[in-house]
């Protein structure tokens, strides 16, 4: 308990210190990471704890975003809702829409539930471009952050702190929910809703409440995105927004409270860092998702637990070298795979094929700031070598593990 508390305080302190450590560009990325983390946590409340797999969570994020953009436009920072309190509008909109959509969706469970959530999100996605006055059409709706409470919200730092405060508050409330009787019943809903009914609980009402709470915090995340971008566009209703939150949450691990948040933060950081450098970012995201589902169904947060179990099993002196070996093998394999994907992606691109036709041969490609011959051992030895090296290292680590297990 004490270690987790100090870890938590350390994490919060680090987040609070980030503006002093990062450049404005990275700080902007940190704002997006925080928003993605909150959105994924709201999703985790539904998918992880209530056991309801929603495929259309962009709807609640988007409704929160558009409610906020209209409220900012209408109130202009006046009245009871100055800029820092705007996420309350997103929360109310997410909650309201969550109650309505949840009332329909939670009539069913499993696949039917997932399909209803997908349909509701697609309905909004199809409707939004038609309703220009409400959703602003192609160009979206732009607003200004009005100064309030002595802040002008002109700098990235102020936006960052505004986002951080709301995200931490929301995560604290979501965590508190897991400790309440409603939160415990949510787990019961996931485990065996049939039995709950015969214990006297109205299962549909419990389902709607779990759904609406998830909608509420999704709405807060949508509102924060509007505050950060000073605009809202109907692309927030797109299916890939719903898909990302599913993938990010499961990559992080929905079984642990902070799993979805960490997964989303990590993936949006990679997205920021890597998406300019590669055109295959979506492929990497998908491959990572598949690998996590295949080899670590508990998500990346499960790795910590697995490592701790190994240390306990093999002893503090024998486990770390093995874990390091394993890590090195995974890194080598990843490097080999990335090299291969990037090379193939370049060779298969239309530009390259046009070039190849013009040159009637195989011109070299540019990759990682270097020129590589398209055909030739000097190029292909790299990915193949990395993959072979990583693979044999992994096999070696596995053998060592079995040996030590036998000894232990």
Partner 1 sequence: MSAPILQLQGLCKSFGETEIIRGVDLELAPGERRALIGPNGAGKSTLFHLISGNLPPSAGKIAFQGREITGWAPQRINRLGLARSFQITNIFPKLTVFENIRLAVMRKQTQPTAFWRRVDRLPGLREATEALLERVRLQTRAKGLAGELSYSEQRSLEIAMTLASDPQLILLDEPMAGMSGEETDYTMELIRDVTAGRALLIVEHDMDVVFRLADRISVLVYGQVIATDTPEKIRQHQGVREAYLGEEVAGEVAS
Q: At what angle do helices 319-348 and 301-314 cross, to 10 degrees?
A: 150
Q: Is the CB of 76 or the CB of 180 nearer to partner 1? A: 180
CB of 9 to partner 1, least distance (A): 21
Site for partner 1 contains 2 (CB under 8 A):
no
Tell me the C-alpha distance between 282 and 277, whole Å: 12
Q: Where are the alpha helices (DSSP H) in 300-376?
A: 301-314, 319-348, 350-359
Which residues ranging from 195 to 234 are in contact with partner 1 (CB under 8 A)? 195-203, 205-206, 209, 213
Which residue among 194, 295, 358, 369 contacts partner 1 (CB under 8 A)? 194
Q: Is the CB of 165 or the CB of 182 nearer to partner 1? A: 182
Q: Is the CB of 69 or the CB of 174 nearer to partner 1? A: 174
Closest among 201, 29, 210 to 113, alpha carbons compared: 210
Q: Write out the two tokens for 254.
A: 């929905």
Q: At what angle do helices 377-407 and 319-348 cross, to 10 degrees?
A: 150
Which residue among 184, 312, 353, 399 contacts partner 1 (CB under 8 A)? 184
Tell me the C-alpha distance between 251 and 264, whole Å: 8
x/- site string to partner 1, residues 49 to 88, per CB under 8 A? ----------------------------------------
CB of 205 to partner 1, least distance (A): 7
Tell me the C-alpha distance between 312 and 308, whole Å: 6
Q: Give yes or no for a contact between 53 and 114, defined as CB atoms under 8 angstroms apart.
A: yes
Q: Is the CB of 2 or the CB of 179 nearer to partner 1? A: 179
x/- site string to partner 1, residues 152 to 181, per CB under 8 A? ------------------------xx-xxx
Which residue among 188, 364, 389, 391 contacts partner 1 (CB under 8 A)? 188
Tell me the C-alpha distance between 269 and 44, whole Å: 19
Q: How many residues bind partner 1 (CB under 8 A)?
A: 27
The window from 194-202, 227-235, 281-289, 372-380 that contacts partner 1 (CB under 8 A) reads 194-202
Which residue among 155, 192, 279, 313 contacts partner 1 (CB under 8 A)? 192
How far CA 351 is from CA of 243, 345, 348, 356, in Å, comes to: 30, 11, 9, 9
Tell me the C-alpha distance between 212 and 46, whole Å: 9
Tell me the C-alpha distance between 30 and 22, whole Å: 9
Binding residues for partner 1, per CB under 8 A?
Answer: 176-177, 179-185, 187-188, 191-192, 194-203, 205-206, 209, 213
């Amino acid at each position: 308990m004490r270690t987790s508390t100090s870890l938590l305080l350390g994490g919060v302190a680090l987040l609070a210190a980030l503006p002093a450590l990062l450049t404005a560009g990275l700080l902007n990325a940190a704002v997006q990471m925080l928003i993605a983390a909150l959105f994924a946590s709201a999703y985790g409340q539904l998918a992880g704890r209530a056991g309801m797999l929603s495929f259309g969570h962009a709807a609640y994020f988007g409704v929160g975003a558009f409610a906020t953009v209209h409220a900012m436009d209408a109130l202009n920072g006046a009245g009871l809702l100055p800029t820092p309190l705007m996420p309350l509008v997103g929360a109310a909109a997410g909650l309201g829409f969550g109650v309505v959509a949840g009332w329909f969706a939670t009539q069913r469970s499993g696949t039917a539930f997932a399909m209803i959530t997908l349909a509701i999100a697609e309905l909004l996605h199809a409707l939004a471009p038609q309703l220009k006055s409400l959703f602003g059409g192609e160009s979206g709706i732009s607003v200004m952050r009005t100064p309030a409470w002595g802040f002008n919200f002109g700098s990235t730092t102020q936006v960052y702190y505004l986002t951080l405060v709301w995200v931490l508050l929301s995560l604290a409330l979501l965590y508190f929910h897991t400790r309440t009787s409603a939160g415990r019943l949510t787990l019961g809903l996931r485990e065996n809703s049939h039995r709950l009914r015969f214990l006297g609980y109205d299962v549909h009402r419990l389902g709607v409440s779990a759904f609406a709470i998830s909608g509420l915090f999704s709405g807060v995340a949508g509102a924060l995105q509007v505050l950060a971008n000073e605009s809202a566009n109907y692309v927030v209703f797109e299916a890939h927004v719903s898909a990302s939150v599913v993938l990010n949450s499961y990559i992080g691990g929905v079984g642990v409270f902070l799993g979805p948040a960490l997964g989303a933060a990590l993936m949006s950081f990679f997205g920021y860092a890597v998406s300019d450098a590669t055109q295959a970012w979506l492929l990497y995201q998908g491959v990572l998702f598949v690998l996590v589902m295949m080899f670590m169904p508990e998500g990346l947060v499960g790795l910590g637990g697995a490592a701790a179990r190994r240390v306990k099993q093999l002893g503090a002196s024998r486990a770390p070298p093995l874990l390091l070996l394993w890590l090195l093998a995974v890194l080598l394999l990843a490097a080999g795979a990335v090299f291969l994907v990037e090379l193939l992606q370049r060779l298969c691109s239309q530009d390259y094929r046009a070039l190849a036709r013009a040159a009637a041969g195989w011109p070299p490609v540019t990759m990682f700031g270097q020129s590589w011959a398209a055909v030739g051992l000097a190029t292909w030895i790299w990915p193949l070598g990395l993959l072979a090296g990583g693979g044999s290292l992994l096999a070696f680590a596995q053998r060592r593990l079995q040996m030590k297990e036998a000894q232990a």
